[in-house]
């Protein structure tokens, strides 16, 4: 089997992707600087089909690390990033270095190594807060944060590298991916793990704003499948970017209600001031990914929330009062 590179492979989405590739019998090289990724995320059971896992510690913003990481690799799955709007506002330079410069370094290395496919993670944040819904890939981007700018910059670099150098690039604009292994403890943690762990412990989850803001939540297994489809798609998708979402939206208040339903609780959220850079409403049109990648989400929101809640229940130590 060919060797596949997963950057950020010790992180949330990257570790699920690495696990799936190994289970499918592929050899996998994980590149991660472990600034947010965890070794525990790579502690999954050895695959039955015999794929080998190689872990390389390093930062994609280092040109030499990027070159060593792609050496001998057939396909690159680029997931490494600082994935937080608030964190990018606190430290825009670090976000640019990891997300924009890191992607450029990896594109150069992949071009020189003549990899057969370069699949990379972008973000729905590039659309900004335009009122038009659903978000369609042909819309003019209007980023509201350094994070969104860094992701849009990576998209432009990838598109240019396909047009100028012929590098087969495919971008995936993730919409609010959630699932097991997502960190609920960081001050920049995503909303689903924060809500699940708080409600499971009987604590009030914090909503920034009125809670009427809507999101298109998508289970991590769906995102993994989108990456695999992108790695096997036809040439008509090269240089393009696709929405990866469920194509449905709910409010954060509704999210609290659904998680309460899983646990049989009635925990009431508390509200704090809205955060700068946050988007009010988000909803994706996913028809383009269906057309070019043959992808549609297999796991719906409620099933994904139940799987995620079950995982946190198994892995999170009980709080003592």
Which residues are marked as active site?
147
Q: Rounded distance, CA 106 to CA 67, Å? A: 7
Q: CB neighbours of 145 closer than 8 A, spacing ≥ 6?
A: 85, 88, 89, 125, 276, 277
The DSSP call for residue 281 is B
Handedness of CA 55, 61, 66, 67 (dihedral sign): negative
Phi-psi region of 75 (alpha: psi -120 to 50; beta: other; left: phi over 0): beta
Q: Residue for token digits 């994070």?
A: 147
Residues 117, 122, 125, CA angle at the centre, nearest 5°?
Answer: 165
> Do 319 and 254 meet the contact criterion of CB atoms below 8 Å apart?
no
Closest CA to 121 of 147, 142, 139: 147
123 exposure class (CB count in 10 Å sphere: 0-12, 13-18, 19+): buried
Q: Are 82 and 37 in contact (CB under 8 A)?
A: no
The CA-CA-CA angle for residues 78, 152, 292, to 5°, reads 65
Nearest in space to 51 (alpha carbons), one of 78, 93, 23:
23
Q: Residue 274: helix, strand or coil by DSSP?
A: coil
């Amino acid at each position: 089997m060919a060797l596949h590179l997963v950057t950020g492979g010790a992180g949330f989405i990257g570790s699920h992707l690495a696990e799936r590739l190994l289970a499918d019998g592929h050899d996998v090289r994980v590149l991660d600087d472990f600034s947010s990724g965890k070794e525990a995320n790579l502690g999954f059971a050895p695959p039955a089909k015999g794929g080998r896992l190689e872990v390389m510690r390093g930062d994609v913003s280092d040109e030499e690390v990027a070159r060593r990481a792609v050496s001998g690799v057939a396909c690159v799955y680029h997931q490494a990033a600082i994935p937080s709007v608030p964190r990018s506002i606190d430290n825009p330079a670090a976000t640019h270095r990891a997300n924009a410069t890191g992607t450029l370094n990896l594109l150069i290395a992949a071009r020189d190594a003549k990899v057969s496919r370069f699949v990379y993670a972008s973000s729905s944040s590039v659309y900004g807060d335009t009122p038009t819904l659903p978000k369609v890939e042909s819309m003019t981007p209007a980023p509201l944060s350094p994070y969104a700018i860094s992701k849009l910059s990576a998209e432009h670099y990838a598109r240019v590298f396909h047009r100028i150098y012929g590098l087969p690039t495919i971008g995936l604009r993730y919409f609010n991916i959630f699932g097991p292994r997502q960190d609920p403890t960081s001050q920049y943690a995503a909303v689903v793990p924060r809500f699940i762990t708080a409600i499971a412990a009987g604590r009030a989850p914090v909503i920034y704003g009125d809670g009427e803001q809507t999101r298109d939540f998508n289970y991590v297994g769906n995102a993994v499948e989108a990456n695999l489809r992108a790695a096997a798609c036809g040439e008509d998708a090269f240089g393009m970017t696709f929405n990866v979402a469920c194509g449905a939206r709910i409010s954060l208040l509704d999210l609290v209600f659904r998680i309460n339903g899983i646990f049989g609780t009635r925990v009431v959220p508390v509200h704090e001031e809205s955060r700068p850079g946050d988007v009010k409403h988000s909803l994706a049109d996913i028809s383009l990914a269906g057309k070019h990648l043959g992808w549609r989400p297999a796991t719906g929101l409620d099933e994904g929330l139940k799987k995620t809640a079950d995982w946190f229940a198994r892995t999170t130590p009980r709080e003592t009062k």
